[in-house]
Amino acid sequence: MIVEDEAIVALDIRNRLMNMGYTITSVHSTGESAVKAALKDQPDLVLMDIMLDGPMDGIETAGAIRKEQLVPIIYLTAYADDTTLQRAKLTGPFGYIIKPFEDRELAINIEMAMYKHRMEVRMRENERWLGTTLKSIGDGVIATDPEGFIRFVNPVAALYLGTQNGDLTGKKLTSVFQLEQMNSPSHERPTAQPGPGIPEDGDYLLLGHERKIPINLKVSPIQGNQGILRGSVIVFRDETERFENERALQLSVEQLTATLQETVNALVATSEKRDPYTAGHQQRVAELACAIAKKAGLTPDECEGLRVGALLHDLGKIYVPAEILSKPSRLTDMEMGIMKTHSEVGFDIVKAIPFPWPVSRMVLEHHERLDGSGYPNGLDGSSILREARIISVADVVEAMSSHRPYRAALGVERALGEIKRNRGVMYEPEYVDICLELFSKGFAFTLS
């Protein structure tokens, strides 16, 4: 569309444009008719003279058209004074050509204006898509400038902050987004650091409500040219349901742990009822075995599994007749053969229990020896479970230190001498050394 008050000039521009291959929607000499025609014809571009017939000049006409529709406008004028240029800038022109001009200059300006317009339309569409997406997602989204002032808040974030979107724009983030730390921030830090007052990734309690809302928060710094921080985007999600589920799961785990502990205690009590002379033996073995394991670097969870295995290591003795268990003299070969079955019997009892540790193997292998002289399977070296190797050291020391029906206690010194003498032969050297060190530093069984 051409807007030019001089008919001859308007005709010349029309002919030149048609020779370039452009289609002219209409030609106007007044601003009023140009505004109406622009709304009706929807031209792709407007060539606008600044001096027009009627009360509206070209700048006012351009402003009225741009107010109603996104169309590129190029000024064609003989006026280039500063005042006119400043007024023209306010309308966002896509070009400013001083009369007279050549066809080449006009063609270049039109092509550049159309390209710039396409980019502007695409950018606005992208912004519209992005804005719609951010407004429709279920997470809260807040964008800030480099100084920590809010530039954008989606409806979800506004809802959690108890206000409307527009009420937050321009405010300092720290004044409306108040958090209480729930855990340590993530150790994975972004390349660009967030601006002032911007929290780090992690779990927080969002304050300022009737209740504190647990949220998970992620921060993404926006980097400009040369890594300059342009702002930050904060995305947070209500984690109330997750934390409630975690609390319920934790309670369930605690209840299961308590049940498991009581089950173990019941099995231990049943075993020791059959053999009153060794009452407390399994607890004392567990005490020493755990002390050795801790020094050997086992994790707390591994130590707990070892403790359970040590408490149950002699469970199979409930199968051994009471007269053999309490016999006040040395056992015959047949009686000893029956006694040695307790490892396998204990294994059969606990193997079906879904312990989170290899408890059944500890029970089965605690009498195996490094040189293969143990029972029931004559295992040797590393084929014996690590925990079973620890229990075997603790078992020998405790058994020799305590009274038995057929003999008096031999004492700790003789017990330590036994494992020292067979260090590397029957018993794991590392665990023997730790055991000796523990007693040298005052270790004593706390259970009588």
Highest mean pLDDT among 137-151, 163-177, 363-377 belongs to 363-377
Per residue in 121-157, pLDDT (tens digit) is 888 887 777 777 777 788 889 989 988 898 888 888 8
Strand partners, 75: 48, 96
The lowest-confidence range among 48-52, 183-187, 286-290 is: 183-187
Say what the pTM is. Answer: 0.52
2-134: CATH topology? Rossmann fold (3.40.50)
348-362 mean pLDDT: 92
Whole-Å CA distances, 242 to 216, 246, 399: 10, 6, 50
Whole-Å CA distances, 120 to 48, 223, 333: 20, 22, 98
Superfamily of chain region 138-238? PAS domain (3.30.450.20)
Listed by start position, the domains of the chain span 2-134, 138-238, 245-440
> Amino acid identity of 277?
Y
Percent composition of the chain: helix, strand, coil (DSSP 3-state, to 5): 50, 15, 35
Per residue in 380-423, pLDDT (tens digit) is 999 999 999 999 999 999 989 887 766 667 889 999 999 999 99
Per residue in 43-101, pLDDT (tens digit) is 999 999 999 998 999 999 999 998 888 899 999 988 778 888 888 888 888 989 988 88
Q: Give dist(CA 425, CA 423) in Å, integer.
A: 5
pLDDT for residue 172 is more than 80 = yes
Q: Give dist(CA 247, CA 315) in Å, integer.
A: 35
Q: Give dist(CA 404, CA 409) in Å, integer.
A: 7
What was the pLDDT predicted at 411?
Answer: 85
pLDDT for residue 185 is more than 60 = no
Q: What percent of the chain has pLDDT over 70?
A: 93
Q: Kindly report the CA angle at 303 between 300 and 306, in degrees rounded to 5?
A: 155
pLDDT-based confidence at 433, cuts 50/70/90? Answer: very high
* Class level of CATH domain 245-440: mainly alpha
The lowest-confidence range among 44-58, 221-235, 268-282 is: 268-282
